[in-house]
C-alpha cells in the first residue's frame, strides 16, 4: 500500500516536533508541506518520516526531523532573510529553510551529493530560491555574504572563524561543536557588534570535513 504521505508528515510533525517543544508555526508548516520522502534514497522511502537520521550515501545522512526543525527554529526566520546552509546533503533542510526564508545558498563538499541535492530541490519545485553550490563550506561562501542566518549541518571541532565573519549583524548562526561523536548545538546571536552564545541541545552529527573540519 502506498502511504498517505501528507498524513505521515502530519503525524511526524505532531509527535516528533510539537511533542518535543518545537513551536515556530512556520517551521511546523514547512515540515508538513515539504515532501521529505522525496529527499531520501528510494529504498529508504518507507522510513522517511521516522524519528531517526537516514543514510543518503557517501557515509552521510539526512538529519532526524527533530534536529532539522530545531535548527530552523533557532534561526528565528521571518521570511526576509538570506541564509547559508553548510552541508546540503539531500537538500531537505535547505528546502525547509527555503520555505521560511527569502533565499538559501546550500554548500556541499561531496560533489555527488551536491548534484543530488540540486536535483531533489528541482524535482520538488523548491529550487526557485534555493541554490546548491559545490565546495568546502567550512570557509563559508564569501560570494554571498553577509548572511542573516547560517546553519551548519556537520559537527565541527571548533567554530570556523569565516562563518562568524560572514554572519551579518544582526544575525544568528547554529552549529554543532565538539568531539567527533558528541557535540553541543551552539547558537550564536550577533547583535550590535557583539556575539552571545547559548547551547540549544546535545547532539551527534556527521563530522565537518575540509580545511576547518576533521582530517
Q: Which stretch binds ligand SAH (CB under 6 A): 22-30, 44-52, 104-112, 173-181?
A: 104-112
Cα 186 to Cα 201: distance, rounded to the nearest angstrom: 8
Toward ligand SAH, which CB reaches closer, 5 or 214?
A: 214
CA nearest neighbour of 92 among 65, 55, 115: 65
Tell the burial category of 7 from Cβ atoms under 10 Å away from its Cβ (0-12, 13-18, 19+). exposed
C-alpha cell at 41: 534514497
CA nearest neighbour of 41 among 74, 89, 4: 89
Q: Which of 73, 108, 126, 173 binds ligand SAH (CB under 6 A)?
A: 108
Cα 197 to Cα 174: distance, rounded to the nearest angstrom: 10
Shortest distance, CB of residue 135 to ligand SAH, whole angstroms? Answer: 7
* Residue indicated by cell numbers 556537520: 154
Q: Which of 38, 81, 103, 136 binds ligand SAH (CB under 6 A)?
A: 136
- Interaction mask 191-210, ligand SAH, x per CB under 6 A: ---------------x-xxx
Q: Which stretch binds ligand SAH (CB under 6 A): 54-62, 75-83, 124-132, 182-190?
A: 54-62
CA nearest neighbour of 158 among 213, 84, 210, 202: 213
Catalytically active residues are 63
Q: Give the residues lining the site for ligand SAH (CB under 6 A).
A: 60-63, 86-87, 89-90, 92-93, 107-110, 113, 136-138, 153-154, 206, 208-210, 213
Amino acid at each position: 500500500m502506498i502511504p498517505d504521505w501528507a498524513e505521515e508528515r502530519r503525524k511526524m510533525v505532531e509527535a516528533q516536533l510539537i511533542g518535543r517543544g518545537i513551536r515556530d508555526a512556520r517551521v511546523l508548516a514547512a515540515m508538513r508541506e515539504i515532501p521529505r520522502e522525496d529527499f531520501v534514497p528510494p529504498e529508504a522511502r518507507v522510513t522517511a518520516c521516522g524519528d531517526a537520521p537516514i543514510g543518503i550515501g557517501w557515509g552521510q545522512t539526512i538529519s532526524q526531523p527533530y534536529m532539522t526543525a530545531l535548527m530552523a527554529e533557532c534561526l528565528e526566520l521571518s521570511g526576509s532573510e538570506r541564509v547559508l546552509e553548510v552541508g546540503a546533503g539531500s537538500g531537505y533542510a535547505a528546502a525547509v529553510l527555503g520555505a521560511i526564508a527569502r533565499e538559501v545558498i546550500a554548500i556541499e563538499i561531496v560533489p555527488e551529493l551536491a548534484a543530488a541535492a540540486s536535483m531533489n530541490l528541482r524535482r520538488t519545485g523548491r529550487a526557485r530560491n534555493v541554490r546548491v553550490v559545490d565546495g568546502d563550506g567550512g570557509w563559508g561562501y564569501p560570494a554571498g555574504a553577509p548572511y542573516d542566518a547560517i546553519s551548519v549541518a556537520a559537527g565541527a571541532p571548533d567554530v570556523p572563524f569565516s562563518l562568524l565573519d560572514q554572519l551579518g549583524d544582526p544575525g544568528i548562526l547554529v552549529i554543532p561543536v565538539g568531539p567527533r561523536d558528541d557535540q553541543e548545538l551552539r547558537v550564536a546571536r550577533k547583535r550590535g557588534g557583539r556575539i552571545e552564545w547559548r547551547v540549544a541541545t546535545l547532539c551527534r552529527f556527521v563530522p565537518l570535513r575540509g580545511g576547518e573540519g576533521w582530517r
